[in-house]
A and B are shown apart, each in its own frame.
Chain A
């Protein structure tokens, strides 16, 4: 299957601060790809590199086969870009901004934009600067839908949105992507919203890539085991090949692992951890994400 985006051995530093090293991923045509990670792990950095706004320290990104540092205007027309915080030209009105963008995009779909604007019940002459954050997010989404791009790059669409607007945003996005065979590259730190949307994910941690997989595989293979341990006892437990992460709260030990329950049990016994009542607890994507990346 054709790859719309391909990032190869991407490494970036801000000064001497390493953001990540050797980030590799591809985005398949027609797929919805999520780049997940806590704040400050390099999600926006990746988007900036992908859009050609930042030169990586090393490595390359290709969009539609072109180096992201030198994207042709015709290729830019195929990419819809949502900036973090739904930034748009807030000195324009609803109708002015539609008129402005329509001149640039040959496949412009005016109705896609105004259909969404009707739901907001805003005046076409209302300035974007006077709208709420939720309304501005719909303006930004409406403009991208009207552009009808082959690839949508959405940088933290959820920022500043309440649950209702987040749902509205994703409902429109999901329906649009499904009906039009579009490719979506989305970043967010609200993982729960993406559970039923994204297919492939890369999870970033500070300075490294934690995981690159499908949501399905991640949820199937990454497990949470909860057990009881004596409270106050100094447990000799640490992260290793079997224990991906763990959390100890009073007498409750939670272990996260890609291994089977039997392997984890055997490993804990080998470590001489005095546990009882070990059982697997199902996880949502957000639980799994926190299990993998930790709460801090």
Chain B
């Protein structure tokens, strides 16, 4: 049953997923070409100085990308469920309603994790080619909140779509925007080095937000 549910989720997101994967790959190529360009034009030692001493972030193209991916995947996965109240069909499947919702969100999370992990891996290889491990580690820590924001945006999008009432949707979106905004700071390396764990725990709370809006959907709550 879970396999069939995942099959349905894949059918909804596959085009968006491949498009986002392609976009991520293009961003990786762009950053790679930029790196190569700076090394050749500015000379390695100047670029090195800018990155290591001045703290220049050469990967700022990644700041909003995970959030965009989270939004697109959440939209494509939950829009068909909400249009024409199709979620009623899904919740009528012979499984527990909460389990159905969690499997749906779990699938999207898993697919994001695969895409984000692949991006991290390829980018790490690229950075490791030009810089020592200390820089690679700093890049990992610096990018972590941005990718965490990607998951949060996805979880919020799924919860917002399942909510029926616009006022509640707006309230959820406002709270989520305030939270996500703090994850997207990018003025220095490793600014979340000591707090990323706490942000991670807070972010996880959003992952079960769909249980709240799903409960309201099921009860037909109109206020």
Main SS of the interface on chain A?
loop
- Cα distance, A88 to B86, chains bound together (Å): 7
Cβ of B54 within 8 Å of any chain A Cβ, yes or no, is no
Kindly provide the distance from the CB of A49 to the nearest chain B CB, expressed in whole angstroms: 8
For window 209-223 of B, CB contacts with A under 8 Å fall at 217-223
Cβ of A118 within 8 Å of any chain B Cβ, yes or no, is no
Kindly provide the distance from the CB of A17 to the nearest chain B CB, expressed in whole angstroms: 11
Main SS of the interface on chain B?
helix
- Among residues of A, the one whose C-beta sits closest to the C-beta of B96 is A73
Chain B residues whose C-beta falls within 8 Å of the C-beta of A85 in the assembled complex: 84
- Among residues of B, the one whose C-beta sits closest to the C-beta of A15 is B222
Chain B residues whose C-beta falls within 8 Å of the C-beta of A51 in the assembled complex: 88, 92
Kindly provide the distance from the CB of B223 to the nearest chain A CB, expressed in whole angstroms: 8
In-complex Cβ contact of A76 among B4, B12, B93, B219 (8 A): B93
Chain A residues whose C-beta falls within 8 Å of the C-beta of B96 in the assembled complex: 73
Assess the A92–B8 pair: CB atoms within 8 A.
yes
Query: Binary interface profile of B, 181-218, with partner A (CB < 8 Å = 1, else 0)?
Result: 00000000000000000000000000000000000011
Assess the A55–B220 pair: CB atoms within 8 A.
yes
CB within 8 Å: A-B pair count: 67
Kindly provide the distance from the CB of A276 to the nearest chain B CB, expressed in whole angstroms: 53
Interface centre among B11, B88, B221 (most CB of A within 10 A): B88
- Cα distance, A7 to B38, chains bound together (Å): 74
Assess the B80–A91 pair: CB atoms within 8 A.
yes
Chain A residues whose C-beta falls within 8 Å of the C-beta of B12 in the assembled complex: 91
Query: Binary interface profile of A, 69-111, with partner B (CB < 8 Å = 1, else 0)?
Result: 0000110110101010101111110001001110111000000
A-B contact list, 26 entries, CB within 8 Å: A48-B220, A51-B92, A53-B88, A53-B91, A53-B217, A54-B219, A54-B220, A55-B221, A81-B88, A81-B89, A83-B84, A83-B88, A85-B84, A87-B85, A87-B86, A87-B89, A89-B8, A89-B11, A89-B86, A89-B89, A91-B12, A96-B11, A99-B4, A100-B8, A103-B1, A104-B4
Interface residues of A, Cβ cutoff 8 Å to B: 14-15, 48, 51-55, 73-74, 76-77, 79, 81, 83, 85, 87-92, 96, 99-101, 103-105
Closest 9 CB pairs of A and B: A54-B220, A103-B4, A77-B94, A73-B94, A76-B94, A55-B219, A87-B84, A81-B92, A100-B4
